[in-house]
Amino acid sequence: MIKQALLIGGATAALLAMTANAQEAAKPSAVSATEASLAAIKAKNDQLHAVIALNPHALVDARALDAERKAGKVRGPLHGVPILLKDNIESADDTATTAGSLALKDNVTGRDAPLVKRLTDAGMVILGKANLSEWANIRSSKSISGWSAVGGTVRNPYVLDRSACGSSSGSGAAVAAGLVPAAIGTETDGSVTCPAAINGLVGLKPTVGLVSRTHIVPISHSQDTAGPMTRTVTDAALILTAIAGSDPADPATREADARKTDYAKGLSKDALKGVTLAVARFYTGYSPGTDAVFEQALKDLKAQGATLVDVKDFDEGPIGKAEGVVLYTELKVDLNAYLASTDPKKVRTRTLEDVIAFNKATPKELEWFGQETFDKAQATKGYDDPAYIKAAADAKRLAGPEGIDRILKETGAVAIVAPTTGPAWTIDPLNGDHYGGSSTTLPAVAGYPHLTVPMGDVGGLPVGLSFIGPAWSEARLLGLGFAYEQATMRRKEPKFLPTVVLEK
């Protein structure tokens, strides 16, 4: 059920072609693009559960942007383009920021996250909030990706009984289904790149510190970042250009202004010519179908002039163990700090301990799975704990200098390529996710960028090709992804099938 139901009647046709890389003369008005998105949401969201709330001021904002355009002021290529925010990102538009939890259902903060201010300064229309895996999928290891107590379960628009992956599931499903041209997701480990790949989209997890995390419901200051989810690499590059930058309130972003660039300006179809790529064979085996599509992607990369070097073995086990200690410890401290910043009249849960108690007292919250991860986080001892200090150092070293950096140095490659994950699994509320693995952990723990681009499908379910690079290599990865995208054009539109159709 959508709150703030600002919906209009009329056409339920496909979303108008107001993508960020459209020709200027062909762009419709901000009002017509916003109306088209609202109509598409009205027509499809009851089926998808991708959108939790709509900005009641969206059309007012769109009219103001059209008035600016009429007066000769165009803010840039994103002027008048609607965009959704994952519902853990604050916006000063009278919508609550819930993280999918009933504990935050009244969390109307009146604050714009700095990345939201950057989007509106670029001329984008904040359309509303996208559904997500509750608490960004950190509450339980038995969770259902895409489920939240506030928004229900997000459906994959390609096959409706399949997962949209988490935690940015609503962002992915909404863009894939044509409800909106673009969305912002957030990732701690896989939460932009997995739903992007599974929903046939481009998704970019930036270097931690390129985009501000202020006023975003946190998990981990070591790994959290927001990133764009779009239909094309160009659109992702344009949005990253808008949201990247330093924020005095987020110390991790101190280098961002010096590191950012115009990410769309350097995109070239020839970016793969003469480059060496490391093929992460240790990230194969998610499914035979995915492996077959990946082998074709490797042929496509070679055809565009890339040299491929196989990397067969890498042990992620120690990284995953250290990552768990880091995430549980930082969740408790960082979430407590966020909750303390909210209005106590609107948010009665002031600590993680309060949230755990709230969930126990609220049957809907624990209807399908528990909160054992929250319990583990509550039991941690803080940043002075020697176990945390060691795990934080080990995780960064093993994933970064001794992981991605070492692989690139030994192979002479500029980036690592791998299948992002396998095809979407069936939604199973009784047993939780049937997740087959992904290539997300190394870049997530290292804090390095990770781009996924559509590389084909398995039985009608999209799968993505990952490009992983060293810190601050977003421009390079976007260039490689653009060249691959333009040479292959693997993305297909969803068909909203009820289930996978087996051959007779």
The residues annotated as belonging to the active site are 86, 167, 191
State the CB neighbour count (10 A cutoff) for residue 176: 27
Q: How many CB atoms lie within 10 A of CB 17?
A: 13
- Asked if 117 and 91 touch (Cβ cutoff 8 Å), the reply is no
CB 107 within 8 A of CB 346: yes
| 256-263 contacts, C-beta under 8 A, 24 or more apart | 256/209, 256/210, 256/211, 256/212, 259/207, 259/210, 259/472, 260/210, 261/475, 263/237, 263/238, 263/474, 263/475, 263/478
22 DSSP 8-state letter: S
Beta bridge partners of 279: 310, 417
Which of 382, 323, 395 has its CA nearest to residue 352? 382
* Cross-strand partners of 129: 53, 85
Q: Is the dihedral of CA 277, 283, 287, 288 positive or negative?
A: positive
User: How many residues are there in the chain?
Assistant: 504
d(Cα 175, Cα 57) in Å, to the nearest integer? 21
CB atoms under 10 Å from CB of 489, counted, come to 9
Enter the tokens of residue 139.
């509450």
3-class DSSP string for 148-211: ECCCEECCCCCECCECCCCCCHHHHHHHHCCCCCEEEEEECCCCCHHHHHHCCCEEEECCCCCE
* Cα 158 from Cα 457, distance rounded (Å): 10
